[in-house]
Each structure stands twice: as structure tokens, then as C-alpha cells.
Amino acid sequence: MSAPQRKSDLAVRASTGVLMIAIAAIALWLGGIAFWILCTVGALFMMAEWSDLDQAGARNKRVAQFALSVPLATMAPASLIIEVHYFFTLGLLVGAAFFTVIVTRKPRLAAGVLYCGLPVLSLVFLRRADGGLLFAFWALALVWACDIGAYFSGRSISGPKLAPAISPNKTWAGLGGGVIAAGLFGALLHVQFGLPWRMAVATPLLAVVAQGGDLYESWLKRRAGVKDSGNMLPGHGGVLDRLDGLVPVAPLAALLLILPRFYP
């Protein structure tokens, strides 16, 4: 690839990335229905891409999206639907996975319902908590910080590959840069905005988890024989490609928030 083409690809990637962050930040700031709509739309696109990676077929894709839409609907703000307990919604999410596997006979497709639904439930829970704007922003932005740090440190330092059989472009230097960037971000939020210390300390570990989520999605694509999970986001591929690191991070972030209730 020529240098002008690489610069062009980087420009498209950067522009799309800035636009996505801006949309997410606005929805996060508004909260309520705006944040729920963004999360719901993202989850349904993720489910579609997961179905395509699993080669589930158009009918089974629709079944999985329909099943997922039920617990997603119960996460809507109280102005649209009677507010229910989060554990009830979690039960519906598990039930949606069971429904999917019974109807489609595809266990991996049913696993996708949990894969796409759990992060949404976690983010909605974080955003609606007291001080939720900070907590939800932390969960989202630590993944952004990790991705940015990993991208630039990996390109500038290079070095040994992290998992060449799964993702040839990822390096140990990129992992280190991502962890450092996320750790500094967590420390900044702790000092400037009062992010609880347990969350700030956990941020570098969650950055490692985010990279693990990225590698897992790379493995899914390699198994399916495709480069990207979709083509909806210019320069980035599909929605799964952009949210793969957030999938395991969001539930862990929610657990860190509720931890003091069990261990005050």
C-alpha cells in the first residue's frame, strides 16, 4: 500500500472514529431515551453481524434480533415502559438466549444474544446510577483510551506480535501502550472528578480485558474467514469491530460499581 493511500485510510478511520465518539458522548450526556436508543441500535447491529459471522441465515438472524429486542425494551426509560428490576431484565436476557437456541438449534447464535445484550444492560445500569454520567463515561472512554494508546504505540514501536495466529497486527508494545493510556486516564478521572479508587486501580486491568475482547472478536472473524464483521463504519469495519473491547469491560465495570453493596 502506498503512503498516500495509507494516509487516506488513516484520515477516513480518524474521521469515522471522531464522529462515533461525538455521537456516543452526546447520547451519554443526554442520558435517558437518547442513550438507551443508541445502545439498543448498537446491540441489534451487533446481533446481525454476529449472526453473519456464524452464518446463521437470514431467518435465524431475525429470530435472534427479535429475541434480543425483548430484554432491550425493558431497559427503556420509565417514560416509555414500566420500570423493572435489573435482575428481571437479566433473566429475560437469559430467557431470550434459551428461546433462540430452542427455535434455531444454534447454540452459538444464542450465545450472541448474551454477548450483545449484557454490555447494554451494564451500560444502562451504570448511566442510571447516582453519578452515572461519570461511571458510564469511564467504562466507555477507558476502552477508547486503550484503543488509541495501542494503535499509536503499536505503530511507532512495533516489536513482537501479541497473538500472530489470531491478529497479526497486534503487538506487545501496543498492549503496553493501551494499558498505560487507560491507566493514566483512570488516574485523571480519580484526581479530577472523584472516580472511586477501586475503579481507577482496576482501569489498567480492564484495558487488558478490552484487548482480550478484541482478540476474541478477531478469532471469530478468522473462524468465519472474513476481515471485518461488517462494512457499516468506513475505516473501521462493522459495529462489532468497534465495540468488541467494550463487551467484556462493561459488565465488569458494573460489578465494580455494585461491589460496595456486598463488601462495604
**pLDDT tens string 104-151:** 999 999 999 999 999 999 999 999 999 999 999 999 999 999 999 998
Residue 31 banded pLDDT, cuts 50, 70, 90: very high
Read off the pLDDT of residues 178-217 as tens digits, 9 standing for 90 and up: 999 999 999 999 999 999 999 999 999 999 999 999 999 9
Torsion sign across C-alpha atoms 237, 38, 144, 197: negative
- Domain locations in the chain as residue ranges: 25-30+130-264, 33-128
Tell me if the pTM is above 0.95: no
pLDDT score recorded for residue 150: 92
Q: How much is the pLDDT for 124? A: 94
- The stretch 227-240 carries a mean pLDDT of 80
Average pLDDT, the chain: 89
pLDDT exceeds 80 at position 14: no
Q: What is the pLDDT of residue 80?
A: 46
* Of residues 12 and 91, more confidently modeled: 91
